[in-house]
Structure 1
């Protein structure tokens, strides 16, 4: 949850009609709503919260102001959506509403299979949500201990929730930024562990019953990015690719301080002994060189956290596809906020360090339809997709470069209005880039298109792959199987219909396949 700012409070009756589209859509609402990335039907959305899987259904909760398209931090809710496959989502009524104790800020949810909380009724597994209460009355009075941690439980798979009568379960010790609890079951120690964002570092707590919490340790004072407040943490175990060795990954979102401005997500790799998170020695050397290790180098992936209880021990994350630099100004009318494509993460180790790879979940393939496949010998400028071949407002494109040389390889998404999004790889400077300065509507905030986003590479490449996930108003680039990722949004006045590739070198070969995404 972002640092608090004042917003206009608009009184409204907001529970009715959330499952119906607005009768008076503006052209912007029609033009800019994604085809298959989740968005609220109306109102404001930011951080994903309370992610879990149970009995064939994925649950996505999120920070939600139902009655206006800018955040009301004094009356924040948890919104709710469900999916059978992580791709096609159905929005439900708001799940947890603000009350006299405060607004409902970010947090997590766990499937309490053993009923450690005692909330179960003998028939239904309790789902326990852990969230931050934010007390606006205290904030307006100038007090700093405005945030505390609370819980609620559900016995009907997250449809309805009962708040614990003895909330809060973790009181504020006198700290201004004290929020966003991410809780998981530590099976080895038979305890629940809470990671909490506290100013610009991480605190850990433990509990046997989700009600009584004990402080364990602190991490992060001297490591990683500190350009802004830390938010929305996540700690989880993961196997190193090709081994049986287990490491722990700590994701910490930061605002501001991102690599290309505004909010972003960083991560750390190490070990967790049930009390303390300690960075791995190889990762420590890597961090000294890189200073910050970023999950996504684009400007529009924030608050990425993972789902609880996913089958086959997969680790799936999803983020808010926006940036606090301009999120309240994007030109989408009566709704604001969208989610990234859900991504499966894996951990790769090389002699240089660790990479938390992330690629789109495999379920996206189930929606792939018509395919266009081509092999291209690059000379200068080549049109890869012509208008009418593939609808580029809902497509996945796989590109395989062979025999690359030093030079710049530039893709361009274009429409008939001359608008474009430019992206690619600069083998001279050893970096990826996205340029949305000519992408259409950009003047709603002066820092939306004030720079070209860049992601450094460790070397120039002779061979490389791109997976490009396109929606109406977004691009997600997964370079070399997700070793480097960039996510950005844009707002063209007409959907992009052509894709070209140009280079200032000769001799390279490109094999690519574009798949239509068929989803309604």
Structure 2
């Protein structure tokens, strides 16, 4: 009953405040607030609380009155009683803001089961990067257990002038135990530095990894590194997965690289692979489920080029859904797959299987009776008829057959196994001060790779108030985009060109 009561209280709070209808139903964000909402951004890692049997997650959050406060950002915590399907935010800031600290950035939280730091077996260690007038520093906090206020212990890293000059950022300081030592990854402008430690206090630099297509003289290209072991089906030896965000391009992208780790050197075995093909993901973080050993990825859902112009009210931003990440050996290389959390459908209380339809160029399908609401899932299965695919299949959300009313259009090209994602204006009124470059990025087309399986193309859409995450399970791909449908315009529409196609639709709603 506790999770039900908590979610009901959150819904009562949301509806009782002057909060926009775009407040998410099942994505992690801050508590709604009518006058001083928190700006939520980078997710930190997720840990399992063995005593409470819940998941705990941490996020960067910025007060709305940041100019008037001594710290521009902080950490908040959220908890999940249903294995990460939905999250309940805790508004309280985690760390005291004092002395020379002007802002908190990313980091990580770990359980010290080796008692390497001397605080006791299973102590909770917090590694947090802060900004000061002397540059960035990494602070270590600790607590005996979850739920206790973290206590500052000491500074374990300080950014030197030479490091600042070459773009070596201590932000997003991430560590993990590799079985022999603690391993930390620090971003450079052009790659990653790997460090090792036995006590999380004294660190020794082991090696450097250069990112493809990056140069030493580039400044600030890579952020939010994650470095974790991953099992490969059919292989006894684990590989390592390096995930990072790259913002050399204005919109920012998330990549993953598979390689070997010998305790000092990371040797990549693949080129960087896109882990999200949409416009609106950044700052990834990956966590290991200690019970299953599976990897789960979560990212910030936004784009720094235009997020400040989005019509949020009573809250700002949210995180993506938890996504299961795994690796398969395919032909001569390794491929990273990204799929929805297998329990994500637990959030949906009702389902409706619509009759299978034969869509023709002359007969489109307007799901006028479906009324999906603001938070829903659509499973779309397309089957070719007579062994032939149409050249194009169109699927749209939040609108009728009139293009001007649509918020999102998906142009599916089954003969080449891609889906073009075209975002419309929707309910947004773009301000005059919005730059042409930001407007171009908002309107830019994005392409999601697909994979046909036994004559079927399957697409899965997760929609939550202002966000859409589109998965192709067979291809292991996903695209995340913000979109703001007009109120009361949540409809589904399907059509095709030059040849008929069979369509099956399952609709699930919160």
TM interval, short-chain normalised? 0.7 to 0.9
The aligned length equals: 471
Whole-Å Cα distance in 1 between the matches of residues 247 and 70 of structure 2?
16
Query: How far did residue 497 of structure 1 move?
Result: 2.2
Whole-Å Cα distance in 1 between the matches of residues 89 and 208 of structure 2?
37
**1:38-77 → structure 2 map (5 Å cutoff):** 38-41=28-31, 42-55=37-50, 56-68=53-65, 74-77=71-74
TM-score scaled to structure 2, two decimals? 0.84
CA contact (8 A) 1:390 1:515 kept: no
CA contact (8 A) 2:136 2:158 kept: no
* Pick aligned residue for 1:91 from 68, 84, 89: 89
- Report the CA distance shift for 1:242/1:513 in structure 2 as closer, same or farther (over 3 A): farther
Q: Deviations over 1:20-65 (max 9, x none)?
A: 9589944xx3221112112212211110114322212211111111
Matched with 1:246 is 238
Q: Deviations over 1:67-91 (max 9, x none)?
A: 4489989532111111122123222
CA contact (8 A) 2:186 2:194 kept: yes
Matched with 2:344 is 364
Matched with 1:471 is 464
Unaligned runs of 5+ in 2: 1-9, 32-36
RMSD between superposed Cα atoms in Å: 3.0
Matched with 2:407 is 420
**1:299-448 → structure 2 map (5 Å cutoff):** 299-351=279-331, 353-373=333-353, 374-380=355-361, 382-383=364-365, 385-387=367-369, 389-403=370-384, 405=389, 407-415=391-399, 418-427=405-414, 430-441=417-428, 443-444=430-431, 445=434, 446-447=439-440
Query: How far did residue 267 of structure 1 move?
Result: 1.3
Whole-Å Cα distance in 1 between the matches of residues 375 and 79 of structure 2?
21
Q: Deviations over 1:120-158 (max 9, x none)?
A: 3x7xx31111121211x34xxxxxxx1122211122305
CA contact (8 A) 2:406 2:424 kept: no
| Residue 262 in structure 1 maps to residue 245 in structure 2 | no
- Report the CA distance shift for 1:433/1:352 in structure 2 as closer, same or farther (over 3 A): farther
- Report the CA distance shift for 1:438/1:429 in structure 2 as closer, same or farther (over 3 A): farther
CA contact (8 A) 2:321 2:340 kept: yes
* Pick aligned residue for 2:194 from 204, 210, 215: 204
Query: How far did residue 456 of structure 1 move?
Result: 4.8
Unaligned runs of 5+ in 1: 1-17, 139-145
Q: Deviations over 1:95-144 (max 9, x none)?
A: 12433242211111111112211123x7xx31111121211x34xxxxxx
- Report the CA distance shift for 1:237/1:294 in structure 2 as closer, same or farther (over 3 A): same
Matched with 1:142 is none
Matched with 2:116 is 116
Question: Any idea what SS the aligned residue of 2:155 has?
Answer: coil
* Pick aligned residue for 1:183 from 175, 180, 189: 175
**1:116-195 → structure 2 map (5 Å cutoff):** 116-120=116-120, 125-135=122-132, 137-138=133-134, 146-164=135-153, 166-172=154-160, 174-176=162-164, 177=167, 178-179=169-170, 180-187=172-179, 190-195=180-185
Query: How far did residue 430 of structure 1 move?
Result: 4.6
CA contact (8 A) 2:422 2:443 kept: no
Greater than 6 Å deviation, 4+ residue runs: 69-73, 224-227, 458-461
CA contact (8 A) 1:400 1:510 kept: yes
CA contact (8 A) 1:170 1:213 kept: no
CA contact (8 A) 1:411 1:500 kept: yes
Whole-Å Cα distance in 1 between the matches of residues 244 and 279 of structure 2?
16
